[in-house]
Each structure stands twice: as C-alpha cells, then as structure tokens.
Amino acid sequence: MSSYLLNDQAMQDFIINGYLVLKPENLTEAFHQDAYNRLTAMIERHGNPGSDLLDRAPYINDVLNAPEVTGALTSLIGANHVLDRHCA
C-alpha cells in the first residue's frame, strides 16, 4: 500500500488543483471504454442512477478499489476510510 500513497508533490497538486488524475495500472483502456459505453447506455435508458450507481454498475468498484485510488484516498483522508453509497 505504501507505494501507492501520494508523495508531497501529488498532495500539493491536489491542494492547488482540487483533483488528481490517477491511472490504475490494472484497468485497461478496454475496461474504461466498456464502462463508458455501459454507463452512457444506462443513463440514456434510466436517467441518473444517483445513489444506486454501485448497484447498477458494480464494475465501478474496480475503479474505487484500485490500489492507486485507495492509496490516494488513504493519503488524503486517512487509513480505514469508508466510502458511502453516495460516493460515486
């Protein structure tokens, strides 16, 4: 986990810009394209899923659980953080 924690420069970038661009190594371009296509189709058919996003699109958990994402969240909000249903 420690290798995925943010370094000082990344923390400064987040503070200055309010966001970070993370590129999880285990998520391929094909994964992202498939997720985009599936989410777009879902929203067109059913509208914004709101708090039901993770139930309707469980593959989003692959993003939220990627080591790069959990490392960044640990750096920003501490260990043992909890993502609520409205996190997405």
Report d(CA 7, CA 66) in Å as an integer: 17
Q: What are the tens digits of pLDDT across the range 53-62?
A: 999 999 999 9
pTM across the whole model: 0.84
Q: What are the tens digits of pLDDT across the range 1-19?
A: 668 999 999 999 999 999 9
Report which residue type is found at 50.
Answer: G
Report d(CA 88, CA 52) in Å as an integer: 9
